[in-house]
Amino acid sequence: MSNPVINVAEIFGSNVFSDKVMKERLPKAVYKSFKKSIDEGKQLTMDVANVIANSMKDWAIEKGATHYTHWFQPLTGITAEKHDAFISPVGDGEIVLEFSGKQLIQGEPDASSFPSGGLRATFEARGYTAWDPTVPAFVKDNAVGDVTLFIPTAFYSYTGVALDKKIPLLRSIDAVSKQALRVLKALGNTTSRKVVATLGPEQEYFLVDKKLFMQRLDLQLTGRTLFGAASPKGQELEDQYFGTIKDNVSAFMADLDAEMWKLGIFSKTRHNEVAPAQFENAPVFSMLNTAVDHNQLTMELMQKIALRHDLVCLLHEKPYRGINGSGKHNNWSLATDDGLNLLEPGDNPHDNMQFLAFLAGVIRAVDRHADMLRGGCATAGQDHRLGANEAPPAIISVYLGDMLGEIFEKLGKGEKYSSKGKEFTNVGVDTLPSFPKDNSDRNRTSPFAFTGNKFEFRMVGSAMSCAGPMLILNTAVAESFDEIAGRLEKSKDIKAEVAAILKDVFRENSKIVFNGNNYSAEWEKEAAKRGLPNVKNSVDAHKALITPKAESILTKYGVLSKEELHSRYEIYIETYSKVINIEANTAINMAGTMFIPAAIKYATKLADSISKVKAAGVSAAAQEGILKTVSTLLETAVKKLKAVVDAKEKASNISEAVKKAECYRDDVFTAYTSLRDEIDALEAIVPANIWPVPTYADLLFKL
Ligand code: ADP
Ligand code: MG
């Protein structure tokens, strides 16, 4: 099977109703008025909307579209779409294809079945979608040739309460942009008009053979393996990372790239990741809002396209025990409309007031709101990564690297930093170039690392929407920039004020800076001494989202009202309980109908063998030994299975949401995790041809 040759330049953005397309197709005045309203953040007039809608419809129909949909991001963390055909009946059995400005701008899906976290009572199931004109509409085609026009929208109640992930994200982008611009202006910048947040999300994922996946109920229903003895080979040879990409995986990746490019997503990097059967895709960064939409599309495409290749894409944070899980490194920075990166240190970071002011602001924000940043990354899936001896740890810290770390310390203590000049790396081979050293080295263990000219927030989980974690980061940083801007605006000597800010941040917030190995046991002790939060499970981590501190900052910057915030918290907590309940149900099903019967079958075989062998007058000691082991494991497994059922019963009888979630965490989760010990031990004894599901070796290496 080979992929047809594709012309990247030709297909890139071909399914996007882009600025270029609009410019070509819209009357000049309409295009101008559209651009103006985006630029000034004003609403479109209905006349303009009608013309745009019509043009969009014609363009989409040329692409083969029959339907349009308002595409939105409810609090499930995934996207939602309801398709409507363009047809509109006229006269006797006739139709015309129609799409009006009103249909473009606003929709009214039935909101009653989306999670609303208590908001439902106040909005009576009525929800509206509104076109987000800051990101382009696009058409999506699929393998069966069905084409639909997608209109990115925000989703809110009739009282104006945000029911989605996009609205608060946009509000947080606004907040951080405004405060960053204030700092910039106070520092004397006269050219920039706007600041935007940027994001480049690196998406990790696993692939598994579809036939094998279909034999694993746990993978199908929970996205991870609830059982499975370790494979004889894991990732210890370190031969997967950046390894040669197999042809079938390559075919998938080529397809994925092509589909991403058609949607105007800057898919750039693809490689094998650390674990067997684990991979990564990374786009070139873009505006944060667009990047979040694009990442949602990327996750969707990965899952769809894998199926075309008889593969299944696993986005879960920890599909397999004992080998690396998957994250989504969120590379984040701030840029101006005239092309400045506010986190660019330049050649002399110690002298770069602008860089130092922004750096100090981010360090302070992360230190003050480490608990919220952690809370925003928490899910049941993430519990297997964060704090579970895995990358990255549950403790938030900031990595600056040696040089910046030293600058921060020296300036923070009011001492002089003398530049060592540009250092060069030389490998000692004349034909190889020597090159200037980076300002920051790589530190793969840090959850929040400065990487050259951006921060890389590595705690985000692979299955999550980036919107939640980014919203918290933006807001935390907005608060700290607000403070810095206030000081700078009042100051007569900007340089002295930046120096004073650095000293304050060093004194108050440098406990968050850590350049060492975040995976070490010593760090955990050291972090405790520093008083850094180290919350190892999501039920507790989420609590940071509803503290008075969290409420105060999120409401102050207009990102989430108290009501909106609590609704999200409630959804997180309820979702946790639901996920654990599904895992428990699946574990009960698999243990009860697959593993225990398989072990009984083997025990019966052994018993048969023992009586036959003995009848032949020979010792059956070996079989007896194995039978004893199998029987003991079986007995315990049956008891533990009962314990899972009981724990579930106990949890289901608790009505208070947090107590319920705590019971799911402490009783239910631990019960089926404990059951796994016996089942995995049985897997190691029961003959492969009797074991009812594919093993870890199958799942990880038969790709
Ligand atoms: P890695 O962490 O694997 O070494 P790279 O350094 O190549 O990855 O880049 C990771 C991501 O960071 C890419 O998506 C890249 O586009 C993004 N990135 C680079 N500069 C910025 C920036 N200013 N703002 C946001 N993301 C950025
Ligand atoms: Mg990275």
Alpha carbon 90 to its chain's center: 46
Query: 225: closest CA among 696, 597, 584?
Result: 696
Query: 682: closest CA among 605, 587, 607, 597?
Result: 597
- Six token digits for residue 175: 């907040």
Question: What pLDDT shows up at residue 438?
Answer: 62
CA Rg value for the chain: 28
Fold assignment, 172-226+238-419+435-560:
Creatine Kinase; Chain A, domain 2 (3.30.590)
Integer Cα distance of 195 and 183 in angstroms: 11
C-alpha 294 to ligand 1 mean position (Å):
15
Ligand found nearest the CA of 200:
1
Question: What pLDDT shows up at residue 83?
Answer: 94
Does residue 443's CB lie within 6 angstroms of at least one atom of ligand 1?
Answer: no
Q: Domain 8-163 is of which CATH architecture?
A: Roll (3.10)
Does residue 470's CB lie within 6 angstroms of at least one atom of ligand 1?
Answer: no
Output the residue whose Cα is nearest ligand 1's atom 11. 200
Please give the number of the atom of ligand 1 that sits closest to the Cα of 341. Answer: 23
Question: What pLDDT shows up at residue 47?
Answer: 94
Question: What pLDDT shows up at residue 116?
Answer: 79
Output the residue whose Cα is nearest ligand 1's atom 17. 200
CA distances to 119, 129, 174 from 157, rounded to whole Å, are: 9, 9, 21
Q: Which residues of the chain have pLDDT under 70?
A: 1-4, 120-125, 388-392, 422-426, 433-442
Please give the number of the atom of ligand 1 that sits closest to the Cα of 331. Answer: 26
Spell out the domain ranges in the chain.
8-163, 172-226+238-419+435-560, 576-701
Output the residue whose Cα is nearest ligand 1's atom 1. 202
The greatest distance separating any two alpha carbons of the chain, rounded to the nearest whole angstrom, comes to: 102
How does pLDDT run across 338-378, given as a tens digit for each residue? 999 999 999 999 999 999 999 999 999 999 999 999 999 99
Question: What pLDDT shows up at residue 233?
Answer: 85
Q: Which helix (H) or strand (E) holds 74?
A: none
Alpha carbon 263 to its chain's center: 20
Q: Are 153 and 132 in contact (CB under 8 A)?
A: yes
HEC string of 126-147 equals: EEEEEECCCCCEEEEECCCCCE
Does residue 204's CB lie within 6 angstroms of at least one atom of ligand 1?
Answer: no
Does residue 327's CB lie within 6 angstroms of at least one atom of ligand 1?
Answer: no
Question: What pLDDT shows up at residue 389?
Answer: 59
Query: 38: closest CA among 101, 103, 131?
Result: 131
Does residue 454's CB lie within 6 angstroms of at least one atom of ligand 1?
Answer: yes
C-alpha 200 to ligand 1 mean position (Å):
6
Does residue 332's CB lie within 6 angstroms of at least one atom of ligand 1?
Answer: yes
Task: Give the strand pairing for 65-71 and 147-157.
Answer: parallel
Integer Cα distance of 231 and 227 in angstroms: 12
Integer Cα distance of 357 and 339 in angstroms: 18
C-alpha 119 to ligand 1 mean position (Å):
37
Answer left, alpha or beta for residue 351, where phi above 0 means left and psi between -120 and 50 means alpha: alpha
Does residue 457's CB lie within 6 angstroms of at least one atom of ligand 1?
Answer: no
Q: Decide: helix, strand or coil at residue 53.
A: helix
Does residue 281's CB lie within 6 angstroms of at least one atom of ligand 1?
Answer: no
Strand partners for 599? none
pTM confidence score: 0.95
Question: What pLDDT shows up at residue 442?
Answer: 67
Fold assignment, 576-701:
Four Helix Bundle (Hemerythrin (Met), subunit A) (1.20.120)
Question: What pLDDT shows up at residue 1?
Answer: 47
For a mutational test of ligand 1's pocket, the pick from 176, 202, 453, 470, i.e. the residue with the most ligand atoms closer than 8 A to its C-beta, is 202
